[in-house]
Structure 1
């Protein structure tokens, strides 16, 4: 079957493609970039990366984890975007994440951890923004109190603080 392309059909096809492409793009950050997500993602806003400022992260669906950690005294409330929502926002396609901190510490985290454990990319500790000195501005937090099996070296090393970048890839 042969399709006859008229000018209106060509314009319609081009406009549908343009709308689809625009729907895939993220808005660029207005404030200072605090997180860069790269790798196997489909939604970007700066070249082939997704850059986020604090306002963008705060606009994503938030979660809260109240838990004790080896690095804090007593229970602490951590809140911020749900990891699984962040991955969906950038159209993450890979199964693994390389999470890198401001000091270049890096940990490999299975993307499935974000969904299976309700991981939060904390931007607030007890309702207050976290400074770099206090493990901020971003901290990957697991619900240790809800699932004591997570209190192992494996998950503790995945609890990266001072997160600056996430690279999505397939292992």
Structure 2
């Protein structure tokens, strides 16, 4: 008979083993949870009280402004913050980026289950399509901070798309999809 104490010793080992098996020991992408989400899927998304830094549109069911979601920094970061370190090819140094997972943002936006891609547009009109397969495969960040500091427009902010591209060779075309000065996301 398994005692309650033994059960509490077995469960964490089982959960960790299941994580490694599900992710594959060589493919697990590690990130740190910095701040847990206080806005979750199904919650009302508040209208921004500060400067709008990101607009999400397209095939989404949750909105807070005329068929779109407008985020100020405070509201965006309430989706939960995670961080990971990458070797930034443009800065040519290791950088710890902190932000919201794109997958979490899409869940809160109640994006269509049949989405094919997310079209990301920067302030300078640079635009790129991020396929759903990439969103499902990697912890793509909508970064708001670089090495613990908020990013100004002059420093590629206030939001920027970051992939863990230096950790895996099989991330396709990630450098082209790493949009800085991100202005909008169109869910298609």
Query: How would you bin the TM-score normalised by the shorter chain?
Result: 0.7 to 0.9
Q: In the aligned structure 2, how far is the partner of 1:35 from the partner of 1:114?
A: 18
Aligned partner of 1:122 in structure 2 is 143
Could you tell me how far 1:25 is from its partner in structure 2? 4.5
Could you tell me how far 1:27 is from its partner in structure 2? 1.5
Equivalent residue in structure 2 for 1:50, among 69, 83, 92:
69
CA deviation string 1:60-109 (max 9, x = no partner) = 12221201121113210001011110111111112211100001110000
TM-score with structure 2 length normalisation? 0.73
Aligned partner of 1:87 in structure 2 is 106
**1:77 maps to 2:77:** no
Matched position secondary structure for 1:98: strand
TM-score with structure 1 length normalisation? 0.80
Larger Rg: 1
Where structure 1 has 5 or more consecutive residues not aligned to the other structure, the ranges are 1-22
Equivalent residue in structure 1 for 2:154, among 133, 137, 145:
133
Could you tell me how far 1:24 is from its partner in structure 2? 6.5
Q: In the aligned structure 2, how far is the partner of 1:65 from the partner of 1:38?
A: 27
The aligned length equals 145
Could you tell me how far 1:59 is from its partner in structure 2? 0.9
Q: Is the 8 A contact 1:65 1:120 kept in 2?
A: no
Where structure 2 has 5 or more consecutive residues not aligned to the other structure, the ranges are 1-41
**1:29 maps to 2:29:** no
